[in-house]
Structure 1
Amino acid sequence: MNNPLLTDSILPLFSAIKPEHVEPAIDQLLAEARATVEKCLQTKQNYTWEKLIAPIADAEDRLNKAWSPVSHLNSVCNNEELRAAYNACLPKLSEYATEIGQNKRLFYAYRLIAKHSEFSTLDSAQQKIIRNALRDFRLSGVALSEEKKQRYKEICQELSQHTSHFEENVLDATNAWNKVINNKRDLVGMPESAIAGAKQAAEQAGEEGYMLTLQFPSYNAVMTYADSRELRREVYEAYTTRASETGPQGGHFDNSLLMEQILSLRHEKAKLLGFNNYAELSLATKMAKKPEDVIGFLENLATKSWRQARNDLIELQNFAREVHSFIEMEPWDISYYSEKMRQHFYQLSQEEVKSYFPVTRVLPGLFAVAERLYGLNITEIFDFDTWHPDVQFFQIHDRDGQLRGQFFIDLFARPKKRGGAWMDDCVSRKKSGDNVQIPVAYLTCNFTPPTGDAPALMTHDEVTTLFHEFGHGLHHMLTQVDHLGVSGINGVEWDAVELPSQFMENWCWEKDALALMSGHYETGEPLPDSLFEKMLSAKNFQAGLFMVRQLEFSLFDFRIHLEYEPERGGRIYEILEQVRKHVAVIQPPKFNRFPHSFTHIFAGGYAAGYYSYKWAEVLSSDAYSLFEEKGIFDQETGHSFLTNILEKGGSQNAMDLFVEFRGREPTIDALLRHNGIAA
């Protein structure tokens, strides 16, 4: 095998992928895709689904299946050689996408199919793909002059390079900082599991003592438990100034210029296409129809949440003063005293909770929940090619024994791995004749890795994160749509794509579901009722603070794209300060540079779309309220969610699918109730 990226194998051979393989393979597949488009257009006016759309989709699927493992490896085991190969291909892929989107002959061919009498004989998914394609042709500038088309192409290429560079800077800044501590006394307050992790990190780096890093498990442990306020402040500053012009690495991985360039290019792109700003362009493919809808939605939530958020902060300040004689609260004190307060009022220790959630119980429990809801059977496959020893691989069969999907799980944080948690598609479902291409997903997290012989112990937040990403995975894998453009998560409005993921989080708070996924890692003892009641009592602890924090992110993101003015630049921190004055109750220090590492909007798919988390939470909360009425494992309701939401993918509008499941349009009531906020 000369180049594994050019095989027709469904599953990638990760170990065989070499950086030098990447660019030649992508060049060849791009050439094949272009040749396919040209060949299909030779049929002149006799355009049909089978003669035009299907063969082009097959060629692009082969390209996507080759690029997917390269992109994934670049995220989970980044190195200089792979990064160089990845970045060399980005402009080529961008050029191809723009070229296809601006191909007038192809646009006219799609339009002829849409106008032909046979259009009505196509199934609803095929019709949706064609309608989406006609929309996307316009959003790709098919109607622009040649001069403007060229500029559009240049913008897209520059954006792909700048957003990749932004993410690389965040990754490099995260990996570049560490603090070695020689005396264990300096870590007083931190749990033994976190100290063991710091010791293991030092050993792996060839250092004596204990190593703290900016990987989230290490950062979070310091901010939540370390008694040393000086240490908390130092780590807080290092974390919140990553990839910026200030802080301990100031200027080394600075994203300041990139942020301005990205906003400028997005604005120019929107103007070229006839929109007033990038926020309007972003909404062209979402449920929300105009910027006023988004701003009004977010400000309505802020109005309902701000008073509770302020009360949450006042209660925390009072607790710190009265119980710990601590007066001057700073951001690096919030998590620390919040955990003290949680233990004081609820007698709830996160470390105690972790003891009942070893990954060896959580994963089987997650699969048991899916089995009860949807009749799935999930089994592990041990003989597979992987990129890291921690990775596991599973397959899903339905109640009829049909293979529905497969997925990789990569749970633990490590150097050279992008932070956060995400689901991505490895292979998408399609049907060709009698053959069905089984969908495959990547589920990636950054949880605290195991230390010594003990299994990895998960916080309840980590359990919830795993359920969230698995919800995305089920949306991708359980689809019954046969056409690539709208199978799985493809073609789903971006502000509805979080519905299945947030929906799954609800089972992490149900006693019957927790019984399936918990058990003490040493004794196997089930989660005690008393501990569960404490968790439930503390469920909405500081929910107001969390809500306004998410609204701060959402409003900031939307406004910097909505209000961009070329002559004034992005005004990133000016707008952020305005948003904070409007909705926030905690004001961070001037050195805080969180936008510099906000990869969701500057490197991910959430630009002018971060509000989607809250928008979709309205849908997910309302959907789950039906299970609250019928029973959390009610098979009829589970089957309805499976068939109306998960299996339909992007084949119908998200609102129509929601109404089919719920019987009506969503209301905000369940969201507020689940967050403990009065309507």
Structure 2
Amino acid sequence: MTLEPLALPATDDALAWVEGRTTDGLATARRLVDELRAAPPADALDALRQWDEVALQLGNVAAVGSLLSNVHPDEAVRTSCEQAEVEVDRLATELRQDRALYDVFAGLDASGLDEQAARLHGKVLDDFRRAGVDRDDATRARLAEINERLTAIDQEFGRNVRDDVRTVTAAAERYAGLPQDWLDAHPADADGNLTATTDYPDAVPVRMFAHDAGLRHDMSVAFLTRGYPQNEPLLQEMFALRHELATLVGYADWASYDAAVKMIGSGPAIPAFIDRIADAAAAPMERDLAVLMERYRRDHPDATEIPASDATYYQEVVRREQYDVDAQQVRRYFDFAQVRQGLLEVTGRLFGLRYEPVADAPVWHDDVTAYDVWEADGAAPFARIYLDLHPREGKYKHAAQFTLAEGVAGRQLPEGVLVCNFARGLMEHDHVVTLFHEFGHLVHHVLGGRGQWARFAGVATEWDFVEAPSQMLEEWAWDADILRSFATDEDGEPIPAALVERMRAADDYGKGIQARVQMFYAAMSYWFHTDRPADLTAAMKQMQARYSPFPYVEGTHMFASFGHLAGYSSAYYTYMWSLVIAKDLFSAFDPDDLFAPDVARRYRDRVLAPGGAKDAADLVADFLGRPYTFDAYAAWLAR
């Protein structure tokens, strides 16, 4: 049987299509569950297959809802998709709290199951217990209320950030320092003023290149107050509800509940890890800051600290003056269209894939491009991907991979969507790295989408591992030979290898600073959930003073747009935890031959393709031939 990708609707038909898909998917899931209750299969494998089909049906509704609520241009469609997510969460909670269903799975004879089926059985039972199936009726009802409200809060929080696009208007001369192509795209108005928004293609270059410190400060304040004040009470409620949920099912706090199903294992291990990284980064941070402060004092002789609104600009100055890396010169080599094509060629060669454009695929916006994914020597596509890479009104403001469909062998193709907000012309190299990073999630999703269980499809590993494959793929955006294959200027000249070498040295310069900033964010995500402070701004300032190299920008409230508080909750440490593993994974590759087929194929087959069929630590050990260690990360940070 040949599987076909999901047939997306034309824009005008999207609302009816979403509503119909939601109704049909939920009805199918309910029918399958009713059959399970009425006549549960005696065979454990049959029961698990039927339950996995329920999960697939619910996942299909939720995936479309999550994606289109963040990207569709029609507000009515976005609202309908948000409601679909609520309905899926409501039904999922109802099912996981159903004692009769739990008894079906608890009573199965699992002795004859293979390794993956036995793993699934254990996780299904754990899902029921974590949902409170063994609690009394009143407690289960309260847990259902909490889950439904948390979904609504998550959606409202994201909507507030998405819709709160602020602007900074100033005299055109104050934008001196910005790249010429940026200035050309932002003509002055009749009064001689230019306006920049807080969307990334404006906010990043203004903070990085504008010579005017006042303008940089104004943009920093605008950017760091998005979502405020409306999101503060939502966060307070979110933290309280998560804590209540965790304690109702027997955990000390939300972080302990959340960490129990992650590699880290326990809530108290999170601050211990944060402090371990902070301590390891202390000396590199001081080294970086000394260089930065020396340069800053040339312009500000009496300065005792570097304002956060000046940090990005002066780090660029250091890279330009001490490493001979001028980001505005570098970006000449990174035309968006060339980078996108280069990304496809690089990942295709690395993973043995090819991407064929699907010109007639229905999409939700003209900016979106669709590709079928083939094995390099395949006879038929096995996945479809969509790239939605430029900002627009009403669209998700960050960079992420969204699932459109989980892939299950013989049942449905994996489909994923890359949602980013890049400039249409020239890109900063940092954005090229981000594109490679996010594409790593997309590759993981499609390669991990050919197993037999929906539960283990795609990026289904422990959540504190999911960033590791993407962080490792960033290395391919730093290799001189690889970059020269697609990074060319307007005359067709490839980026010089010597420049790439200086770029890497310049990037290494700030890694101590970056590690400590990340630990500030990680501490905030953890302590907000465990302490639940009454004054989020005051608590944020305390953690910033403890971990970050830069002081608080007065009048700002960055937590209000810190989307990871909703998505990653107490586990923002994940990014650094994953980076430790990513550095160890990359140590298996030959830096002189990053396309070596033996190691690339082993990595693809043993780390990416299994999806969540094994514990992440076992996937890494299968690839490395040993357990992962802290050594590669520590050596990288120290050098």
The one-character-per-residue Cα deviations of 1:316-373 (angstroms, maximum 9, x if unpaired) are 1221222676847422211222222211112211111111111222223222222332
> Contact 1:396–1:404 (CA<8 Å) still a contact in 2?
yes
Choose 214-223 or 260-269, whichever is displaced more. 214-223
- In structure 2, the CA distance between the partners of 1:668 and 1:158, relative to structure 1 (3 Å rule), is same
- The question of 1:316 aligning with 2:289 is answered no
2:414 corresponds in structure 1 to 439
1:97 corresponds in structure 2 to 92
Which amino acid letter does the alignment assign opposite residue 266 of structure 1? R
2:204 corresponds in structure 1 to 220
The one-character-per-residue Cα deviations of 1:167-218 (angstroms, maximum 9, x if unpaired) are 11112222xx22445x53232111112212323xx89xx9986321010110
- In structure 2, the CA distance between the partners of 1:673 and 1:513, relative to structure 1 (3 Å rule), is farther
1:13 corresponds in structure 2 to 9
1:193 corresponds in structure 2 to 181
SS at match of 1:538: helix
Q: Which of 478, 481, 503 is matched with 2:447 structurally? A: 478
Which amino acid letter does the alignment assign opposite residue 665 of structure 1? P
Q: How far off its partner does 1:311 sit?
A: 3.0
> Contact 1:41–1:105 (CA<8 Å) still a contact in 2?
yes
- For residues 548-587 of structure 1, the aligned pairs below 5 Å read 548-564=516-532, 569-587=533-551
CA distance, structure 2, for counterparts of residue 28 and residue 289 of structure 1: 38
The one-character-per-residue Cα deviations of 1:364-386 (angstroms, maximum 9, x if unpaired) are 32222223322222222211111
- The question of 1:644 aligning with 2:639 is answered no
1:248 corresponds in structure 2 to none
SS at match of 2:435: helix
Q: Which of 152, 170, 175 is matched with 2:143 structurally? A: 152
Q: How far off its partner does 1:75 sit?
A: 0.8
- The question of 1:627 aligning with 2:613 is answered no
The one-character-per-residue Cα deviations of 1:6-56 (angstroms, maximum 9, x if unpaired) are xx9623225254435544642443233112101122224624333x33234
1:347 corresponds in structure 2 to 324
Q: Which of 99, 107, 128 is matched with 2:102 structurally? A: 107
1:178 corresponds in structure 2 to 167
SS at match of 2:529: helix
Which amino acid letter does the alignment assign opposite residue 238 of structure 2? I
SS at match of 1:406: strand
Q: How far off its partner does 1:542 sit?
A: 1.4
CA distance, structure 2, for counterparts of residue 63 and residue 667 of structure 1: 38
> Contact 2:199–2:391 (CA<8 Å) still a contact in 1?
yes
Which amino acid letter does the alignment assign opposite residue 37 of structure 1? V
> Contact 2:26–2:57 (CA<8 Å) still a contact in 1?
no
CA distance, structure 2, for counterparts of residue 106 and residue 143 of structure 1: 12
SS at match of 1:377: strand
The one-character-per-residue Cα deviations of 1:582-634 (angstroms, maximum 9, x if unpaired) are 222211133220111111112x2x01111111111111110001103784222
1:405 corresponds in structure 2 to 383
Unaligned runs of 5+ in 2: none
How large is the RMSD of aligned CA atoms in angstroms? 2.4
2:333 corresponds in structure 1 to 356
- In structure 2, the CA distance between the partners of 1:631 and 1:160, relative to structure 1 (3 Å rule), is same
Q: How far off its partner does 1:573 sit?
A: 3.5
Which amino acid letter does the alignment assign opposite residue 250 of structure 2? G
Q: Which of 626, 630, 635 is matched with 1:664 structurally? A: 626
1:48 corresponds in structure 2 to 44
SS at match of 2:157: helix
CA distance, structure 1, for counterparts of residue 294 and residue 16 of structure 2: 60
Which amino acid letter does the alignment assign opposite residue 442 of structure 1? V
> Contact 1:90–1:157 (CA<8 Å) still a contact in 2?
no
The one-character-per-residue Cα deviations of 1:563-588 (angstroms, maximum 9, x if unpaired) are 34xxxx55533443332232222111
1:249 corresponds in structure 2 to none
1:237 corresponds in structure 2 to 221
SS at match of 2:590: helix
CA distance, structure 2, for counterparts of residue 31 and residue 396 of structure 1: 31
CA distance, structure 2, for counterparts of residue 62 and residue 17 of structure 1: 22
Identity %: 27
> Contact 1:90–1:161 (CA<8 Å) still a contact in 2?
no
Choose 290-299 or 17-26, whichever is displaced more. 17-26
Q: How far off its partner does 1:422 sit?
A: 0.4
CA distance, structure 2, for counterparts of residue 600 and residue 661 of structure 1: 30
CA distance, structure 1, for counterparts of residue 508 and residue 120 of structure 2: 41
- In structure 2, the CA distance between the partners of 1:505 and 1:326, relative to structure 1 (3 Å rule), is farther
- For residues 46-445 of structure 1, the aligned pairs below 5 Å read 46-50=42-46, 52-77=47-72, 79-113=74-108, 115-119=109-113, 122=114, 124-174=115-165, 177-181=166-170, 183-199=171-187, 210-245=194-229, 254-322=230-298, 327=303, 329-402=306-379, 403-431=381-409, 435-445=410-420
CA distance, structure 1, for counterparts of residue 10 and residue 329 of structure 2: 38
Q: TM-score, normalised by structure 2?
A: 0.94
> Contact 1:198–1:218 (CA<8 Å) still a contact in 2?
no
CA distance, structure 1, for counterparts of residue 255 and residue 513 of structure 2: 26
CA distance, structure 2, for counterparts of residue 639 and residue 509 of structure 1: 21
Which amino acid letter does the alignment assign opposite residue 69 of structure 1? V
Aligned length in residues: 634
- In structure 2, the CA distance between the partners of 1:193 and 1:239, relative to structure 1 (3 Å rule), is same
CA distance, structure 2, for counterparts of residue 28 and residue 218 of structure 1: 42
The one-character-per-residue Cα deviations of 1:143-182 (angstroms, maximum 9, x if unpaired) are 11001000000000111111111111112222xx22445x
The one-character-per-residue Cα deviations of 1:268-318 (angstroms, maximum 9, x if unpaired) are 000000001000000121011122322222211111112321332232122
CA distance, structure 2, for counterparts of residue 665 and residue 379 of structure 1: 38
Choose 492-501 or 368-377, whichever is displaced more. 368-377
The one-character-per-residue Cα deviations of 1:375-428 (angstroms, maximum 9, x if unpaired) are 222222211111111111112211441523210011112221111100111111
Choose 621-630 or 266-275, whichever is displaced more. 621-630
CA distance, structure 1, for counterparts of residue 318 and residue 145 of structure 2: 53
Which amino acid letter does the alignment assign opposite residue 48 of structure 1? A
Which amino acid letter does the alignment assign opposite residue 598 of structure 1? F
SS at match of 2:589: helix
- In structure 2, the CA distance between the partners of 1:621 and 1:291, relative to structure 1 (3 Å rule), is same
Which amino acid letter does the alignment assign opposite residue 656 of structure 1? D
- In structure 2, the CA distance between the partners of 1:19 and 1:539, relative to structure 1 (3 Å rule), is same
Choose 81-90 or 493-502, whichever is displaced more. 81-90
- In structure 2, the CA distance between the partners of 1:79 and 1:257, relative to structure 1 (3 Å rule), is farther
Choose 506-515 or 88-97, whichever is displaced more. 88-97
CA distance, structure 2, for counterparts of residue 588 and residue 131 of structure 1: 46
Which amino acid letter does the alignment assign opposite residue 484 of structure 1? A
Which amino acid letter does the alignment assign opposite residue 452 of structure 2? D
Which amino acid letter does the alignment assign opposite residue 595 of structure 2? F
Choose 298-307 or 260-269, whichever is displaced more. 298-307
> Contact 2:479–2:500 (CA<8 Å) still a contact in 1?
no
1:463 corresponds in structure 2 to 432
Which amino acid letter does the alignment assign opposite residue 497 of structure 2? D
